[in-house]
Amino acid sequence: MKPHSWRGINFKGLGRPTRELSADIGICETYTNTTRGACLWIGGHSRTATPCGLTPGWLTDDDKSNCGKQFVIKQGQKNVGGRVVNACSFDDSTRVTTGQGCSVIYVTKVLYAELGGNVDDPNNVGSVKIDSWDFTTPPV
């Protein structure tokens, strides 16, 4: 989404954990497990209509203006950062609301590990809790 206010995207309480991305060819760039990157909502798998005047998702196949944007994830006293490398529909669970879609962020393996995710445990469900994430410069 391209909201009027972009500061302090608060993740807590929205019910969607941060998940690990596998290396892939993204709509922004090809990324690996060591790329400090993330995937933001493409606007799909939504259970609510897009509000009038807004574009669904942070980026789409037609609008890649947020590709490469820098972000920071806050988890307690820990801050980790990277750049936007892909878009996700978040279709691995129930449909998302606009608030959930705009607030959720999936991260590459290296960031997932830095956030406390156990990348070597086959019993790990592949998600971690974060406090919030934000762009370091305004989204387009």
Q: Report mean pLDDT in 10-residue bins for the chain, 140 residues.
A: 38 62 91 95 79 78 92 94 92 79 89 88 76 85
Domain membership of residue 40 (yes or no) is: yes
Domain membership of residue 117 (yes or no) is: yes
Domain membership of residue 1 (yes or no) is: no
pLDDT at 55: 72
CATH number assigned to the domain comprising residue 80: 2.40.40
Domain span including residue 72: 9-135
- The number of folded domains in the chain is 1
Domain membership of residue 2 (yes or no) is: no
pLDDT at 85: 97
pLDDT at 96: 81
User: Smallest Cα–Cα separation from 134: which of 110, 103, 112?
Assistant: 103
pLDDT at 81: 96
**pTM for the full predicted model:** 0.82
Domain membership of residue 140 (yes or no) is: no
